[in-house]
Chains A and B, each alone.
Chain A
Amino acid sequence: MICFDNLSKRYPGGFEALKNVSFEMAAGEMAFLTGHSGAGKSTLLKMLMLMERPTSGNLLINGKNLNRLPDSQIPIYRRQVGVVFQNHQLLLDRTVFDNVALPLQVSGYPANEIGRRVRAALDGVGLLDKEQQKPVALSGGEQQRVGIARAVVHKPRILLADEPTGNLDPELSGEIMALFRRFQNVGVTVLIATHDVNLIDRMQLRIMRLEGGNMIDDGADYGRY
């Protein structure tokens, strides 16, 4: 599903955020991406969101080389990717419902379909009763779950999460990870960037480690024992 092939990213000014990174993730696979701050986790996720283009090397999604994707096709590509942000990135002047509906609206879904899917997504994260509230009225964990509902409402094939449990206590983190597991179970490829060691230790998952822009362990042999 995801294939990094010798991918490097050098920013103007010479800083090399990723150095010849190669790894593969199969469809329906779930993995952690870990490393210290500045190791390149965010850059790697930005590559997958096409917020950045690689300096060299190839990025293949479902066999298609994204380097050849014109800028005008970026929005269409992003519609098959869901993203959960650390700071949840919700629109504070809109209701929970409208926030979750956004990915469907930009894809041009009809209103009744949007209503059905948004409620299904909110039900999935246990926030169906909060759909008419504004995000500020919710707790941190609830806001994060709204962010997750928004990331999966359009049934993406790839789910990316950037420190999804950053500000949450272990219990809430566990709940959120359980949610990710459920999406994985229906075939979504899930990649979670985190440096939450406790979380990683508790979950039995493939772990990819970045250090100074190098993939020092892509964890590909995990689960082959």
Chain B
Amino acid sequence: MAATDRPREAVQRGASGQKIKLADRWRGYKSHHRDTIRISLLKMMREPVQTVMTVAVIAIALALPAALYLTVENIQRMGSNFESSAQITIYVHKEAKAETIEKLQDKLETLPTVASVTYISAKQALLEFKALSGFGSALRYLEGNPLPAVFLVQPIVLEPIDLAQTKDLVAAITELPGVDDVQIDMQWLQRLHSLTEVGHKVALALGATLGLGVLLVIGNTIRLAIQSRRDEIIIVKLVGGTNAYVRRPFLYNGVLLGLFGALTASIMLYASVWWISSSIADLADLYQSQYRLAGLGFLRFLMLMGLGGLFGLVGAWMAVSKHLKDIEPK
């Protein structure tokens, strides 16, 4: 009945049971990832209140800077709509001879940063004024034409608007013979640009701050998940689970939370844009503008999702690397 003299070759059989084919291992690995995602989803659904609250916090933290960013983008677009109407008005000297005016037109047309030149003679100006102003009858009491001839110059508008270039152009025009006065209305555009620049930076700063918040929220959620699954982690480690195996469900959990947060944020943004855009369209119509509110768009949606997933991964990684080390079988 002695137990020690059992056949030793039988050990080999036990050992060969350890070997798994590479293809099988890969299939097992893939199905393990699928299972991990499925189980993570199930676990999240089993605690709906906790999950919904976490997702809502992430969604708000992502939606706020994204909304600010969209607003700034739209203001910028509105500005570029007006840029085409930014033109330089040149008042010609009243005493200027027709010859001088012709020369002036030639010179204006040859300037490098000028897109187009339109000439309005003093007569034309007066006719237009009569027709549009409603002071037609009053003008009859005037001796002669009080209006000067005018050149309308459309400069080539560069993105972003370069005020120095426009200034150079104005200076060059002022020097030309026959020019009485030059008016330019581009300064407010420059101001708008500076403002949207500030808006972009504020959106970025807000995004960074709230992004840090998202990391902390996800990190905390994952930390709680790790603590509630302490026993499981110990058992998995005892039966030969690697650190990567133990880490994986928590990382997926973080990524899923981030993705759900980003998805919710996108839905919130789409809904707001849809809600506001009809009013904006009405307003734009009143100003005879084709301007329409630009929404998130598919590419930005993907970017937001990617960002959410990344935040989730990083937040979970932070929690996992801090707390999993402490859990070792004792």
Contact = CB atoms under 8 A, between A and B. Distances in A.
Interface of A: 1, 26-30, 49, 51, 72, 75-80, 83, 89, 91, 102-103, 105-111, 113, 150, 154-157, 181, 184-188, 204-206, 222-223
Given A49-B329, A78-B240, A111-B28, A29 B3 contact: yes
Contacts of A91: 231-232, 235
B11 interface: yes
A79 B15 CA distance: 11
B245 A106 contact: yes
B329 A51 contact: yes
A102 B2 CA distance: 34
Interface stretch (B16-24, B89-97, B271-279): B16-24
Contact of B31 (A78, A89, A111, A181): A111
B14 interface: yes
A161 B236 CA distance: 17
Given A83-B238, A107-B20, 12 more contacts: A26-B8, A27-B11, A28-B11, A29-B3, A29-B6, A49-B238, A75-B245, A89-B234, A187-B6, A187-B14, A205-B3, A206-B3
Contact of B11 (A49, A110, A157): A157
A27 B11 CA distance: 7
Contact of A102 (B20, B236, B243): B236
B25 interface: yes
B232 A188 contact: no
Contact of B235 (A27, A77, A89, A184): A89
Given A156-B14, A157-B15, A110 B31 contact: yes
B191 interface: no
Contact of B239 (A72, A106, A184, A205): A106
Contact-residue size bin, chain B (C-beta under 8 Å from the other chain)? 35 or more
Nearest to A78: B240
Interface SS, A side: loop
A83 to B, nearest CB: 6
B17 A155 contact: yes
30 contacts: A26-B4, A28-B10, A29-B4, A51-B328, A51-B329, A76-B240, A76-B242, A79-B239, A79-B240, A80-B15, A80-B18, A83-B238, A89-B231, A91-B235, A102-B239, A107-B20, A108-B29, A110-B28, A111-B28, A113-B24, A154-B18, A155-B17, A157-B15, A185-B6, A186-B10, A187-B6, A187-B8, A187-B11, A206-B4, A222-B2
Contacts of A107: 20, 240
Given A110-B27, A156-B14, A223 B6 contact: no
Interface string B225-241: 00000011011111111
A74 to B, nearest CB: 8
Contact of A79 (B1, B18, B31, B243): B18
Given A107-B20, A155-B14, A204 B242 contact: no
Given A150-B239, A184-B3, A223-B3, A109 B10 contact: no
A109 B28 CA distance: 5
B5 interface: yes
Contacts of A75: 237, 240-243, 245
Contacts of A51: 238, 328-330
B7 interface: yes
Residue among A75, A156, A188 having the largest count of chain B Cβ atoms under 10 Å = A75
Contact of B10 (A1, A76, A111, A187): A187
Contacts of A110: 24, 27-28, 31
B272 to A, nearest CB: 41
B4 A187 contact: no
